Structure 1
Amino acid sequence: MRRLGYQFTDPALLELALSHRSVGEPNNERLEFLGDAVLGVTISKLLYQQFPTASEGDLSRMRSAIVRAESLASIARQLELGDHLLLGQGELKSGGFRRDSILGDSVEALIGAIYTDSDGAAVEAVIAHWFSAALAAADQRAPAKDSKTALQEWLQQRGKPLPEYTLLEEQGEPHQRTFLVSCKIALRDKPVTASARSRRKAEQAAAALLLAKLEGQ
């Protein structure tokens, strides 16, 4: 995968990073957990250096805008990760290789894999490259708008009912929980669902999916 801009010393880590939990064990969930932490710290450092006078609140908002679920999915599509993901038959049939939550999780897993395979300097260089456009577009004056806020504003502007979020399922060990959440509004009969490592992330991912569907109508 030349688009990654990184050559793995241990190719097995690359395969593991691309292995969704639907294939069974082993899968990329542990690498995703690690990558999520590494990504947050690295983007924080890069923003701290790029905006020496920005407040803590400004830095937090810019970081949230850069690492939100839909941004990670966009990075995954640029890297064409969907073509290389290892998915179970159910996810393959349902188009899991196109799903934002799965794509975004794979980016975090790859970051965790690169960090494990190399060192902090190497993974920072990769993150800076992958997120270069987002970092260049970061603006401390513009507050980040998360997916739930964007969906709520879209609905309010059109006089539509607000969305309802429901926790459908919670699985895994205490340190590896997975949350499945649905997002539904009255004008749509069928809710959308998304899963993530926290309920907040799952709700944000579901909101992004529903907003994309509404805007595409």
Structure 2
Amino acid sequence: MMTSLAKAREAWQQPDTRLQQAAGRIGVRFRNLELLRQSLTHLSYVNELSPHLRDAVRQSNERLEFLGDAVLSLLVAEFLFRRYPDAPEGELTAYRTALVRTQTLARWARQLGLDDVLYLGRGEQPEPGRPVSERILAGAFEAVLGAIYLDRGIGVARRFLIRLLEAEADERISVHQEANYKGRLQELTQERLHITPVYRTIAVSGPAHQRTFTAEVLIGERPLGVGHGPSKRAAEQEAARRAIERLMAEGVDRDHGAL
């Protein structure tokens, strides 16, 4: 009689419906379904089947995750390069950071239903009512992208990824920009004016449980923006936003002008 471990190993080596289901959700017709299976196989699952760690690593999705990470970086950089032809290198780097985050990759994995078709070991199985961890989902997404690249080439991998990027690139980048005015101001002033902004808190008001901070940002000796907020950080972000608006109105975003 076969042991439960032998049965599990045999079942894993045979085609199963989850691969067809996964391929349908991903929207790619795989020539080699074993690549897709490997991309969905977490190391914890193979460790329960294989007594040899080296063999387990070869059969898990870790190597495909490594490849997929590189493919992802290339394709996102290409997408941003073409979509924002006037953006300088610093902005493109910030845009890529805003898009290629663990949370974003995990969300894409869930949209594709990968959380339902992953091969996970017992220790990584989510508890009832709780989702698969974002770390595992993000890794699986990169592994799937790596598998698509190996099986169908860069063109199919590009089309697969662009569908996801097109759906949210502008929104994610806009949110990132709004949330990081200080970073944008620093990039702008260092690139155009060769000056680093300096922030200072100029007022604190209100009761202890409901403070309002007022911050000012200086570019050289010149006060360029004042902001208010419930924390020093929020006030500085608002000051930076106002400073950016002022610099753009003055054309500093277009020309290397002096203050």
Normalising TM by the smaller chain, what interval? 0.5 to 0.7
Indicate whether 1:27 and 2:49 are aligned.
no
User: What aligned pairs does 1:41-190 form with structure 2 within 5 A after superposition?
Assistant: 41-92=74-125, 94=127, 98-139=132-173, 142-143=176-177
Specify the code of the residue in structure 2 equivalent to 1:126. Answer: F
1:138, distance to aligned residue in structure 2 (A): 4.9
Note the residue ranges of structure 1 that are not aligned, 5 or more in a row.
147-157, 160-217
Contact residue 75 and residue 107 of structure 1 kept, 8 A: yes
1:141, distance to aligned residue in structure 2 (A): 9.3
Q: What is the aligned length?
A: 149
User: What aligned pairs does 1:177-216 form with structure 2 within 5 A after superposition?
Assistant: none
Structure 2 match to 1:181? none
More relative contact order, 1 or 2 (CA 8 Å, 6+ apart): 1
Indicate whether 1:4 and 2:38 are aligned.
no
Aligned residue for 2:177, secondary structure, equals coil
TM-score, scaled relative to structure 2: 0.53
Contact residue 58 and residue 141 of structure 1 kept, 8 A: no
1:139, distance to aligned residue in structure 2 (A): 3.8
Change (3 A) 1:83 1:140: closer
Specify the code of the residue in structure 2 equivalent to 1:27. Answer: S
1:145, distance to aligned residue in structure 2 (A): 6.0
CA separation in 2, counterparts of 1:10 and 1:53? 40
Aligned residue for 2:150, secondary structure, equals helix
Deviations 1:72-125 (A, max 9, x none): 011011011110000011111557961100001100000000001011111111
CA separation in 2, counterparts of 1:129 and 1:114? 14
Specify the code of the residue in structure 2 equivalent to 1:53. Answer: D
Rg larger in 1 or in 2?
2
Change (3 A) 1:117 1:145: farther
Aligned residue for 2:125, secondary structure, equals helix
Change (3 A) 1:93 1:120: closer
Contact residue 65 and residue 145 of structure 1 kept, 8 A: no
Change (3 A) 1:145 1:84: farther
Aligned residue for 1:143, secondary structure, equals helix
Contact residue 75 and residue 131 of structure 1 kept, 8 A: no
Structure 1 match to 2:36? 14
Aligned residue for 1:98, secondary structure, equals coil
Structure 1 stretches of at least 4 aligned residues deviating more than 4 Å after TM superposition: 93-97
CA separation in 2, counterparts of 1:138 and 1:47? 13
TM-score, scaled relative to structure 1: 0.63
CA separation in 2, counterparts of 1:94 and 1:134? 30
Contact residue 70 and residue 104 of structure 1 kept, 8 A: yes
1:136, distance to aligned residue in structure 2 (A): 3.7
Change (3 A) 1:53 1:82: same
Note the residue ranges of structure 2 that are not aligned, 5 or more in a row.
1-21, 47-55, 181-208, 211-259
Change (3 A) 1:19 1:51: same
Aligned residue for 1:52, secondary structure, equals coil
1:143, distance to aligned residue in structure 2 (A): 3.3
